[in-house]
Amino acid sequence: MADSIFKKIYNKEIPSEIIYEDNFVFAINDINPIAPVHILVIPKEQIPTINDINADNEAIIGKIVLAAKHIAKQQGVAENGYRLVFNCNADGGQTVFHIHCHLLAGKKLIWNA
Ligand code: AMP
């Protein structure tokens, strides 16, 4: 599997500011934000889509959500609220095939599927 753009960011082959990192995940600001806070929480392991989550790697989803919770608090949006989104494949709007969780906040979000 070729390295994803997120893997290249983590490996410093593409410039971006890593705003959070732990043993399992890292986070960056989305380059094309759709909310005042739009952060991507990304596992260090490159897993292409949510369809590839299985019994062997399911723990990473908990790590992503825990990191997102922590980042939301850091960003000062935990109390007002936020949205966590995983897009999967074409109809889900996925464009980068390395799973990532969008943390959206900073305004009243409209539910508009
Ligand atoms: P998705 O459409 O769910 O796969 O989300 C991919 C996200 O990655 C989009 O919101 C893009 O704006 C974002 N993105 C793509 N390239 C970069 C980059 N170099 N730095 C930060 N965010 C990026």
Q: In the structure, what pLDDT confidence band is assigned to residue 18 with cuts at 50, 70 and 90? A: very high
pLDDT in tens, 41-75: 999 999 999 999 999 999 999 999 999 999 999 99
**Three-state DSSP string of 10-70:** HCCCCCCCEEEECCCEEEEECCCCCCCEEEEEEECCCCCCHHHCCCCCCHHHHHHHHHHHH
Q: What is the β-pairing status of strands 82-85 and 25-29?
A: unpaired
- Kindly report the protein residue whose alpha carbon is nearest to atom 1 of ligand 1: 94
Which whole number is the average pLDDT over 90-109?
Answer: 98
Ligand 1 neighbour 15 (Cβ under 6 A): no
pLDDT score at 94: 98
